[in-house]
Amino acid sequence: MQHPIGIGLAGLGNVGAGVFKNLQANRALLRERLGLDLEVRKAAVRDVARRAEEGFPPELLTNRWQDLVEDPQIRIIVEVMGRKEESLQLILAAIAAKKIVVTANKALLAEHGRDIFEAATLHGVPVFYEAAVGGGIPIIKALREALIGNHIISIHGIINGTSNYILTRMREAGLSFPEALAEAQAAGYAEPDPSFDVNGWDAAHKAIILASLAYGFWIPPEQISVEGIESLTAADFRFARQLGYAIKLLGVIKATSSTPGSEIEVRVHPTLVPEKHVLASVNGVFNAVAVHGNVVGETLFYGRGAGQDPTSSAILCDIAEAAEALANPRRNLGFMPHGLYGRCKPLDAVLSEYYVQLWVEDRPGVIAQVAGILGELQIGISSIFQPESPDEGAMVPLVMMIHTASHAQMRAALERINALPCVHRLPRMIRVEHFS
C-alpha cells in the first residue's frame, strides 16, 4: 500500500464535520475499493479551541487555510467554508499549488466558475463539485459523464429542499407562507435567515451550474430570471389543486436548438406542475432533477438535497475521484466549454403558459374587460375559473389559464389589467410547465 493521500479540510461546520466523520468511518471501505488510503492531515477552522472541545484532534487543527496549501503532503483540499471571498482565494491558491480541489460552494461556482476553471485549465488541475447541486443526488457526474453523448433538451429541477418543504406544507395542511416557514425553522429545515432559500437564489445558483455543464458556457447571474415563493398564498394552492396542478419552485433550463449560437433559457420560479407528472409528487425536503437528452430520453434523479450525510456522501465521491485523478491525470478538469450555445435568452422573449389570479368586483362586464385586454395583445385564454359569490358586488377571485405567450406580452397585459377600476390587489402570475 502506498503512503496515504493527504487531505486538507477547509471548514469543520455541519458539512465539514460530516465529511471528517464519514471519511473516518468508511476509510477502510474506500481503501479496499480504490486501492488508495485517504487521510485527513489538517483542518482549517476559525476557532481552534472550540473545535478541539468538540472532539476533533487538536493536532489536525489550524486557523490558517494557507497551511493546507503550503503543506506538501496535502494533495487534495476540500473547501466547505461557505464564505465566497475567502473560499475563492483558497481555491485559486490551491489550484496554483497543483492541489486538486473539492468544493460544495454553489454560490461561488455560479458567480466565479469562469475564473476558477480558467485557473484549472492553466494549471491542469481538476476541480470537483458534486455536492454543490442536489446534495447526495449524483447529478453533476451524470451530466458530465453518463449523458456526455446527449444534447440536453431540458432540465427541470426541484433543487431547494427548504422551499419544497414549505410548499408541501402549504399544499397538504393549508398553511400560510409564514406558518409553513416557521414550521420549517422549528424542524431545522430552514435557517434563521432563510432568504436565499425562499427568494429563489439558492436554486438559481444550482441552475447556473447545471446549465454550464449542459450547454458549455457560464451564464452571468444577472441574465437569469429568479422569483421566490414568499408571495404565494393558501388560495393559490386551493385553486391549483382544483385545476389539477401542484405548485413547485422549479429550476427550468432549456435549449432552443442545438445549432451553433443557439439561445438557452435559465429561470427559477414557482411553477404549476400537472399532478400526474412525477415532479408533482416530490415532497418535503427531497430534491429531484428531470433531464431530457436527445438520445436517452427522459431521466429522473431523486434524493435528499441537503443535510450533513447526503452532502458529505457526494464529497466523499469527489475525494475518491480526486485520488484516482492523482494517479491518472485527466483531460476533463470538471468543466468542458463548447461552442454550440451562445447566450441566455432574454426573459421578455421566453414563452410559457400561465396561471393568472385576479381579485375583481363581482358584477357584469368584468370578465369582458379583462378578456378584451388579453385579446388586444393576442393572448389566448384556455379556461376561466370563478367561485360563486353569495353577495353581488363583493370582491371575488378570478382565475384564468393562459395559452402560450411571451413574458413581454403578459407583462404588458397585467399592467393594463391592474389599472382597471374593477380589479383589486396586484394580479398574480405563475408559469405552467407541461414538459412536452
Judged by DSSP in three states, 81 sits in coil
Residues 144 and 264 both lie in one domain: yes
Mark which of 245, 271, 305 sits at the end of a domain: 305
What cell does 184 get?
420549517
β-bridge partners, 131: none
Q: Verify that 413 and 264 share a domain, yes or no.
A: no
Q: Of the candidates 147, 344, 149, which has an alpha carbon nearest to the alpha carbon of residue 254?
A: 344
Q: What is the pLDDT of residue 83?
A: 78
Classify residue 336: in a domain, yes or no: no
Q: Residue 158's domain is classified under what CATH number?
A: 3.30.360.10
Q: Could you tell me if 172 and 223 lie in one domain?
A: yes
Concerning whether 42 is annotated as a catalytic residue, the answer is no
Span 281-301, pLDDT tens digits: 999 999 999 999 999 999 999
Q: What is the mean pLDDT of the chain?
A: 92
| The pLDDT of residue 362 | 85
Which is catalytic among the residues 206, 248, 254, 345? 206
171 and 238 part of one domain? yes
The whole-number average pLDDT for the span 243-265 is 88
Q: Which residue has the higher pLDDT, 83 or 170?
A: 170
Quick: pLDDT tens for 7-37.
999 999 999 999 999 999 999 999 999 999 9
Each residue of 183-202: b (16+ CB within 10 Å) or e? bbbeeebbeeebebbbbbbb
Question: pLDDT tens for residues 80-133?
Answer: 997 778 999 999 999 999 999 999 999 999 999 999 999 999 999 999 999 999
- For residue 164 the three cell numbers come to 419544497
pLDDT band, very low/low/confident/very high, at 47 (cuts 50, 70, 90)? very high
The CATH number of whichever domain residue 93 belongs to comes to: 3.40.50.720
The pLDDT of residue 169 = 96
Q: Same domain, yes or no, for 277 and 354?
A: no
Query: Per-residue pLDDT tens for 383-409?
Result: 998 876 555 557 889 999 999 999 999
CA distance 25 to 30: 10
Number of domains in the chain: 3
| Averaged pLDDT for residues 262-267 | 91
Q: Tell me the residue range of the domain where 127 lies.
A: 5-135+309-327
The C-alpha atoms of residue 264 and residue 153 are separated, in whole angstroms, by 10
Whether pLDDT at 70 is above 60: yes
Same domain, 150 and 289: yes
